[in-house]
């Protein structure tokens, strides 16, 4: 069968394009270089507990009428093992129970919202201490990433470790523009315990992370993950915990403390995005663009360039080497 030169060129071009896109499809999987993709896991050997938060905020009322702002004692976001119930240990100055509960309960002393009045034009600074109670008597074993994908065929996969939840410190001024957040700082403490009878190693991220904030203190010293939450370095620790022998001690557990401050210096206050107050990790935004194709990113331009080069080679072969 005799084929014309133009027919051969068309056939070579089609094979080149199909080959390039097949190669792209073969790469459509998780990668350590792809910050938007996390590998789902079934369970964790490590339990997190004793989560405490000490928050200090300065808020200005720009309106000509009194305003109130408050703190809720329940978080109903999507996290493993259900909700986190926050117990307010102390407030300064003393907060009052609000007539309008965001998360009402049978007893206002356990789930009622607490808040403060702020007079017209007044700037008020308050602080409060919260203790988390949840799925394992303290907090959930881990906060899951809802966008994680299951691994089914790669023999080697990156271990992303335990993920974090995030929230916008300046969300209050999105909900009420009359209340302008001037400063926010939060110190969080929590513990991690190995529940397995063998040593484990991996990454633990801070369970609660504010956006557009600076990590100003951590003990032990933390690394910063800059690809998970936009505008914020997420505190993470590389840990090795010994086997659990029936008693929690320094060999199978570790205690963490870290402090964030908002806003980032020289950046100034920015309006929040209106997310739920303690959003699940699956709602994280990424400030990086992946070069690895997947169902979200599509085909990179580099592979289109490869296809074009293959087409050019086919044309050259058909024209000059036959």
Q: Is the pLDDT of residue 195 over 70?
A: yes
Indicate if the alpha-carbon torsion angle 117, 122, 127, 130 is positive or negative: positive
Mean pLDDT of 178-204: 94
Q: How many CA atoms lie within 13 A of 197 on its CB side?
A: 2
What is the rounded CA–CA span in Å between residue 163 and residue 232?
A: 14
For the chain, give the secondary structure using H, E and C.
Answer: CCCCHHHHHHHHHHHHHHHHHHHHHHCCCCCCCCCCCCECCCCCCEEEEEEEEEEEEEEEECCCCCEEEEECCEECCCCCCCCEEEEEEEEECCCEECCCCCCCCCCHHHHCCEEEEECCCCEEEEEEEEEEECCCCCCCCCECCCCCECCCCCCCCCCCCEECEEECCCHHHHHCCCEEEEEEEEEEEEEEEECCCCCEEEEEECCEEECCCEEEEEECCCEEEEEEECCEEEEEEEEEECCCCCCCCCCCEEEEEEEEEECCCCCCCCCCCCCCCCECHHHCCCCCCCCCCCCCCCCCHHHHHHHHHHHHHHHHHHHHHC
Check residue 60 and give its pLDDT: 98
> pLDDT tens for residues 139-162?
555 556 667 778 777 788 888 888
Q: Output the average pLDDT for the chain.
A: 73
Regarding pTM above 0.75, the answer is no
Question: Average pLDDT for residues 2-23, to the nearest whole number?
Answer: 56
pLDDT digits (tens, 9 = 90+) for 63-100: 999 999 998 777 655 455 556 677 889 999 999 988 88
Question: How do residues 113-130 score in pLDDT, each as one tens digit?
Answer: 899 999 999 999 999 999
Residue tagged 């949840």 (tokens) = 134
pLDDT digits (tens, 9 = 90+) for 218-275: 999 999 988 777 778 999 999 999 999 888 888 899 999 999 999 987 764 443 332 2
Between CA 172 and CA 257 the distance in angstroms is: 26
C-beta separation of 138 from 49 below 8 A = yes
Following CA atoms 307, 309, 310, 316 in sequence, which dihedral angle do they give, to the nearest 10 degrees? 150
Q: What is the pLDDT of residue 279?
A: 30
C-alpha 282, offset from chain centre: 7
Tokens of 100: 């309008």
Sign of the four-CA dihedral 87, 77, 278, 190: positive
pLDDT band at 131 (very low <50, low <70, confident <90, very high): confident
**Rounded CA gap, 3 and 32, in Å?**
47
């Amino acid at each position: 069968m005799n084929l014309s030169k133009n027919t051969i060129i068309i056939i070579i071009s089609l094979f080149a394009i199909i080959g390039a896109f097949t190669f792209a499809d073969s790469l459509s999987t998780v990668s350590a270089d792809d910050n938007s993709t996390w590998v789902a896991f079934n369970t964790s050997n490590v339990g997190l507990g004793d989560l405490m938060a000490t928050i200090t905020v300065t808020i200005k009322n720009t309106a000509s009428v009194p305003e109130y702002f408050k703190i809720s004692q329940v978080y109903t976001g999507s996290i493993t093992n259900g909700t986190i119930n926050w117990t307010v240990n102390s407030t300064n100055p003393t907060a009052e129970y609000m007539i309008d509960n965001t998360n009402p309960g049978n007893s206002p002393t356990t789930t009622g919202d607490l808040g403060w009045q702020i007079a017209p034009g007044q700037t008020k600074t308050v602080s409060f201490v919260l203790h988390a109670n949840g799925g394992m008597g303290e907090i959930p074993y881990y906060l899951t990433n809802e966008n994680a994908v299951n691994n089914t065929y790669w023999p080697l996969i990156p271990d992303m470790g335990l993920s974090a939840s995030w929230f916008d410190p300046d969300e209050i001024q999105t909900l009420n523009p009359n209340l302008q957040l001037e400063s926010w700082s939060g110190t969080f403490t929590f513990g991690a315990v190995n529940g397995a009878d063998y040593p484990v190693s991996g990454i633990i991220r801070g369970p609660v992370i504010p956006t557009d904030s600076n990590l100003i203190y951590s003990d032990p010293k933390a690394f910063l993950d800059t690809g998970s939450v936009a505008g914020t370095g997420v505190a993470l620790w590389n840990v090795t915990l010994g086997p659990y022998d029936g008693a929690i001690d320094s060999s199978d557990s570790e205690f963490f403390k870290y402090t964030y401050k908002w806003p980032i210096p020289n950046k100034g206050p920015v309006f929040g995005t209106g997310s739920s107050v303690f959003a699940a990790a699956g709602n994280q935004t990424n400030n990086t663009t992946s070069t690895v194709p997947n169902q979200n990113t599509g085909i990179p331009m580099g592979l289109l360039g490869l296809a074009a080069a293959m087409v050019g080679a086919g044309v050259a072969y058909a024209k000059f080497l036959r």
